[in-house]
C-alpha cells in the first residue's frame, strides 16, 4: 500500500490522507476539508454552490500530481455576472480560502466575468480577450502539462483560447514559470451567491474530450499511485 498524497485543510488542524493500492483507480473529487466555509458541496463532492454574502471563495481537489499531462472540465450549473476562476494551485496558500485561484502565491488560473477574461498567476494578471463569454449551462475544458509548465483553456465551443494548440504546445495562455515540485491540485473559486459549478475529472464522459497525449485527471492521478 502506498500513500498517494497528503493534504492539510485551509481551516482547522485536521489532516486527511488518501491511500491506494496499485489495483484500484482513483476517483478525484473536490475536497470538503480544503475549502472556504461559504462553499457547499453536493453530487458526490463534484458540485460547489456559493452561499452567504457575495465574495471570493475557493476549493482544491482531493489529490495532487507532480508531473504529466492531464485534463478536466467544468460546467456552469448557474452563473451570474461576477467571475469564477479555474486553474491549478499548490499548498503554499493555507488561509481561510476566501480568495480566487491565482490571486495568491503558488497558483495560476483562468478568470472570467461577463465582460473580461484574465490569466492570473501569483496575484498578477494579463488580459485575455479571445473566446466567448461563459454562461449558465456551458462547459469549459482545462488541459495542462506540468512538466512544461503550460495550461490551456477551451471555451464551450471547444475552441482553445488564444489560438492555443495543447498537442503542439503552442500559444499557451496561461504559461507559468518558477514552478516548484508540487504536488499541484485543480482548484475552483466562485464569487456570487448562488453560483454553482460542477467539475468532471473523468468519472463521466467529457463534453469536449482530452487532447491527444493528455489523459483525464482521474487517470493521471491513478497512474502516479
Distance, in Å, from the CA atom of 83 to the CA atom of 102, rounded to the nearest integer, reads 13
For residue 173, give the nearest of 117, 217, 219, 132 by alpha carbon.
117
Binned at pLDDT 50, 70 and 90, residue 162 comes out as: confident
Strand partners, 189: 58, 85
Distance, in Å, from the CA atom of 215 to the CA atom of 102, rounded to the nearest integer, reads 24
pTM of the model: 0.82
Q: Does domain 2-223 have CATH number 2.40.50.100?
A: no
Q: Which three cell numbers stand for residue 138?
A: 456551458
pLDDT for 107-147, tens place per residue? Answer: 777 767 666 666 766 666 666 655 556 778 889 899 999 88
Distance between start and end Cα atoms, the chain = 9
Residue 104 has pLDDT above 80, yes or no: no
Distance, in Å, from the CA atom of 120 to the CA atom of 54, rounded to the nearest integer, reads 20
- Which helix (DSSP H) or strand (DSSP E) does residue 133 occupy? none
Strand partners, 152: 143
For the chain, give the mean pLDDT.
80
Tell me what the mean pLDDT of segment 168-187 comes to. 73
Q: Among all chains, which residue has been given the C-alpha cell 488518501?
A: 18
Binned at pLDDT 50, 70 and 90, residue 89 comes out as: confident
pLDDT for 14-24, tens place per residue? Answer: 333 343 445 48
Q: Write the DSSP symbol of residue 162.
A: G
Amino acid at each position: 500500500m502506498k500513500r498517494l498524497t497528503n493534504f492539510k485543510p485551509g481551516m482547522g488542524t485536521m489532516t486527511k490522507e488518501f491511500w491506494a493500492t496499485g489495483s484500484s483507480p482513483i476517483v478525484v473529487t473536490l475536497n470538503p476539508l480544503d475549502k472556504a466555509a461559504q462553499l457547499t458541496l453536493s453530487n458526490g463532492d463534484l458540485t460547489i454552490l456559493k452561499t452567504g454574502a457575495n465574495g471570493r471563495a475557493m476549493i482544491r481537489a482531493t489529490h495532487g500530481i507532480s508531473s504529466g499531462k492531464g485534463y478536466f472540465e467544468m460546467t456552469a450549473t448557474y452563473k451570474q455576472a461576477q467571475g469564477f476562476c479555474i486553474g491549478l494551485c499548490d499548498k503554499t496558500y493555507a488561509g481561510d480560502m476566501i480568495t480566487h485561484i491565482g490571486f495568491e502565491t503558488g497558483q495560476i488560473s483562468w478568470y472570467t466575468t461577463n465582460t473580461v477574461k484574465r490569466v492570473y498567476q501569483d496575484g498578477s494578471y494579463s488580459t485575455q480577450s479571445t473566446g466567448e463569454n461563459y454562461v449558465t449551462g456551458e462547459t469549459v475544458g482545462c488541459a495542462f502539462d506540468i512538466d512544461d509548465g503550460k495550461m490551456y483553456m477551451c471555451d464551450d465551443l471547444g475552441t482553445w483560447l488564444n489560438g492555443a494548440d495543447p498537442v503542439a504546445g503552442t500559444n499557451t495562455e496561461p504559461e507559468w514559470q518558477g514552478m516548484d515540485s508540487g504536488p499541484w491540485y485543480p482548484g475552483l473559486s466562485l464569487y456570487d451567491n448562488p453560483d454553482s459549478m460542477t467539475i468532471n475529472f473523468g468519472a463521466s464522459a467529457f463534453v469536449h474530450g482530452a487532447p491527444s497525449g493528455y489523459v483525464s485527471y482521474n487517470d493521471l492521478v491513478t497512474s502516479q499511485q
